[in-house]
Amino acid sequence: MKYAILGDIHANYEALTAVLADAAKRGVSRYVCLGDIVGYNASPVECLERVRELDCPVVRGNHDHYCAIDTDLEGFHPIAADVVGWTRSQLSDEQRAYLGALTYVKRVETFTIVHSTLDTPEMWGYVFDKLEADASFAYQTSALCFYGHTHVPLAFEKTDRVRVGLYSRIKVVLGRKYFINAGSVGQPRDGDPRAAYVTYDLLANEIELHRVEYDFKTTQKKIKDAGLPDRVASRLALGR
Ligand code: ZN
């Protein structure tokens, strides 16, 4: 059984379809989504409906959360706030209700999925360092947890201490805990503009990070046509 772990799709339909095609080639039969289906890019409806077709476990991201409710966006980055307002106007009431019903944390078979952190998932903290990862490990009841939110693929491993590193393939070792960022499908921020996602082979107990080229020029054109901020489009070419 092979899962594809899809994080931070962010309304990038071209990246999502490229990733799904790649996953199918690799024999993936199940999917999970780490949240932030919408926000930033210009295809929220297409991405949301495509994820719903996968009929897979999904957790709530901060963008999903703020697109689902009508609160004002004080404290949001101005560019992100612009797009949240626009995204709200694109989604139907039913689609917003779907996003608003998502839970923060989910157990899937033997592993856990969360958008931000396990210690305070509703606070949308970022896990970049060992101290932040250790706070999540304290609440992690499964050996393996996948998370998103930073858009930077990074693996934390806990034995008697926490270690961190970049990864491309991880063989899961019994008795250790793993807190793994699957990267971002729709807005990578690690300097590599290719879409990122992870496969997890349950039988082999192996995790693999994949990068997939996609037609970001079309995504950029849609962003410009929708009147969304230029910076949202230009960053896709840089992976920042
Ligand atoms: Zn995100």
CATH number at residue 76: 3.60.21.10
For residue 130, the enclosing domain spans 2-237
pLDDT at 81: 86
pLDDT one-digit tens code per residue, 88-140: 999 999 999 999 999 999 999 999 999 999 999 999 999 999 999 999 999 99
Q: Which pLDDT belongs to residue 162?
A: 97
Looking at residue 79, what is its pLDDT?
84
How far is ligand 1, taken at its centre, from the CA of residue 184, in Å?
7
pLDDT at 44: 98
pLDDT at 209: 98
pLDDT of residue 74: 80
Distance 116 CA to ligand 1 centre (A): 9
User: How many angstroms separate the alpha carbon of residue 63 from the centre of ligand 1?
Assistant: 7
The secondary element (H helix, E strand) that includes residue 233 is: helix 230-238
Nearest CA to 172 out of 196, 129, 204 is that of 204
For the chain, the straight-line distance linking the first and the last C-alpha, in angstroms and rounded, comes to: 33
Cα-to-centroid distance, 67 and ligand 1 (Å): 13
| Ligand 1 geometric centre to CA of 175 (Å) | 31
Per-residue model confidence (pLDDT) at position 153: 98
The reported pLDDT for the residue numbered 213 is: 98
Collect the ranges in the chain with pLDDT lower than 70. Answer: none
What number of residues does the chain have? Answer: 240
- Per-chain residues with Cβ under 5 A from ion ligand 1: 8, 36
Q: d(Cα 32, Cα 35) in Å, to the nearest integer? A: 9
pLDDT, residue 174, reads: 94
Spatial contact of 182 and 175, defined as CB atoms under 8 Å apart: no
* DSSP state string for 35-80: S--SSSSS-HHHHHHHHHHHT--BB--HHHHHHHS----TTS-HHH
**Distance from residue 125's CA to the centre of ligand 1 (Å):** 12
Cα-to-centroid distance, 61 and ligand 1 (Å): 7
Domain count, the chain: 1
User: Any residues with CB less than 8 A from the CB of 143 and at least 6 apart, and which?
Assistant: 110, 111, 172, 174, 176, 177, 178
